[in-house]
Amino acid sequence: MICETRSFPGCIEAHAGINRARHEIAVFHFWESNDHLDRYLTWRAERGDLDARSATMRREQDFRTYSVP
């Protein structure tokens, strides 16, 4: 999914990190604007990608958004 994210309009960077000891995956996206991110998340939700990812996880996904002035 990272390659698709990187090619989505407005995506500046996308990276994933894995912490095997804690059984965690962290995905980091950097976007040109909040509108670009909203369009991306809507696109992923409409395709069913977020539900498909949730089905393979032990707990619910945790989304956090931070803005830099």
Does 64 fall in a domain? no
* pTM for this model (two decimals): 0.73
**pLDDT bracket for residue 64 (50, 70, 90):** confident
Does 63 fall in a domain? no
pLDDT higher for 14 or 1? 14
Does 65 fall in a domain? no
C-alpha distances in angstroms, 24 versus 36, 50, 66, 68?
26, 16, 20, 25
Structural domain total, the chain: 1
Query: How far is 13 from 42, CA to CA, in rounded Å?
Result: 18
Does 25 fall in a domain? yes
Does 20 fall in a domain? yes
Does 49 fall in a domain? yes
Name, in order, each residue with C-beta under 8 angstroms of 17's C-beta and a sequence gap of 6 or more.
Answer: 25, 26, 27, 28
Q: Which domain holds residue 15?
A: 2-55
Does 43 fall in a domain? yes
21-55 confidence digits (pLDDT tens): 988 888 899 999 999 999 998 998 888 876 656 55
Specify the CATH number for the domain of residue 44: 3.30.70.100
